Amino acid sequence: MIAMVALSEHGERSRAWLQSRLWSDRPAAQGSASLRQELSRLRRGIGSRHLVTVSDRVMLRDVRVDVLDMVEPGSVAASFIAAEVPELLEGLEIRDEEFEDWLRLERSHWSERIEALASREEPPGAHADPPAAPRVPAAARAGAHAAILVPRRPTLGIMPCIVRSERPQLTTIGEMICDLAAKMALENGYFGVFDFRDLSGSFSGLPSEAGNPVDGPDLLLSVRLSEIGAMLEIALALRAVGTNRVVWTQSYAAEASEESLLSAGKIPEFVNQAIEASELWLSRNSEDEKHCAARLTLSAAHRAFCLGNMDLALAQSQLEAAFDLDGSVVQLGWLAFLECVRVGEGHPQQSKSSIERVRMLTAKALQEDRGNSLTLALLGHANAFVLRDYAVAEDLVAESLRINPHRAAGWDARAMLNFYTGDLEDGYLAAQRARALGRFSPYAFWYEASCGIGASMVGRHAEAIRHGSLVLAQRPDFKPMIRHMLASFALQGEMAEAQKLYRHWQVLEEDISIAKLRDAGYPLPNPDSIAMIERGLIRAGVALAPA
């Protein structure tokens, strides 16, 4: 079971998936009971910090998987596989046909990746684990030569908008939806974009890049607006080119008033949902070699939000390898964000190196490209939280929101900056805006946490507990939320819940004390936050104020 979870794309599987491959020959109730029993035994063996079950998902956190390390582009696998290629999970035998089918497929996939790595001319160790000191990824030093090595990104085609209405204003709204989708996809850095709105729709005769023919898009996004009486339906769909299979579709109905449609803020949320769906497709369906940099960046972003030290180390390695491949400033922004997570989670001996890295990454990213709203949002958060340089952070966050006012990460960076500088009410409003825009994101818990922290700081403790419960259901070890939620429980008078959360905090962080909270290097938003958590600890009777 550990192997099956570890070999998944993001280190997680559904309970139903595991049950169907390990107990497929048993009745559903018996298979479910066997799965629960096995998970309980495994948690006792390796610890609930590493094997996490949330709802219907089984996840591995803060672990390193040797097989995945070896098949990462640029790894030292080439020297390892120069000898006889090993068999994946050799000697592991489970008498279940579904398991055997899965294992045969995994071994075939493993062999293909090993053969691809063996055929590369890259010397072993070219991308070993990153050193503690900051470094500039190779593509930043290689200049024009690096561009020759860039594999193409997966591409999203924007189809002409279909409007079933006589009102020309709705055509304008449809074009706005298409424009926003193209902007979000480009800025996120995973997709290139083809715009077919001014073409015949034929994929033949596409231009070339650097003398090489350009393939058609991998996905097509279609937008349709239909007026039905007093209602307007907006429908978006993603189709895979080649099979024409619909991989995602969603519709939204509203009053047929342009003003109400635009003021409700639903269109940006809807577009963000479509882009998240396209990135989910990429993580599951794209070709490893063809879309190498995009897959590395997407995997690293997911690992960053796993919060574990090993996950962060692997994410850093993946981002640096991706930057070496295509040199996108988004990868520099994500590298800066990793330092925020390291500092926020209190990983040891990170403070000084994080400061140096954020300064280097900010300078490099701004030198390369100042026009990407996601990069600016990530850099703004890092400059505020890690460097405490609020003036620079303000410029970066304001520019991010000017370029793209519909980005969840931009509003989240605004919220946290406001919390740091004491503008709590506006910060809470910004956090709510980020949460609405990012509700379909795989990182939605991050935006939920900002709302929870903000609610606790402005004294809305019931709201803070509601937000915090959703966060901890997805990330039980997210310490910033634990600290503020504990205070809200205590200040609401729910002492048993506060004490229970305190015991959980003690498992994650040794020597909790008010003196430690007051330390200048402790990662808390501002003095108001520190004072509130102190009051909560004292009221819950789980910590004493210093004499």
What is the per-residue pLDDT for 256?
59
Residue 129: predicted pLDDT? 38
- CA-based nearest residue to 62, from 311, 303, 315: 311
| Dihedral sign computed on CA atoms, order 414, 419, 423, 427 | positive
Which pair of structure tokens corresponds to residue 175?
A: 């074009």
Q: For residue 212, what is the enclosing H or E element?
A: strand 212-213
Q: What is the pLDDT of residue 125?
A: 35
**3 state SS of 246:** strand
Rounded Cα distance, 193 and 183, in Å: 9
List the domain boundaries for the chain. Answer: 2-118, 155-203+214-285, 447-547
In CATH terms, the fold of domain 155-203+214-285 is Rossmann fold (3.40.50)
Query: Residues 364-398: pLDDT tens digits?
Result: 999 998 999 999 999 999 999 999 999 999 999 99
Residue 363 contacts residue 356 (beta carbons within 8 Å): no
What pTM was computed for the model?
0.73
Task: Point out the residues of the chain with pLDDT beneath 70.
Answer: 9-10, 55, 68-86, 112-152, 199-215, 256-258, 260-264, 286-290, 347-351, 520-521, 543-547
Could you give the CA distance from residue 87 to residue 108 in angstroms, rounded to a whole number? Answer: 10
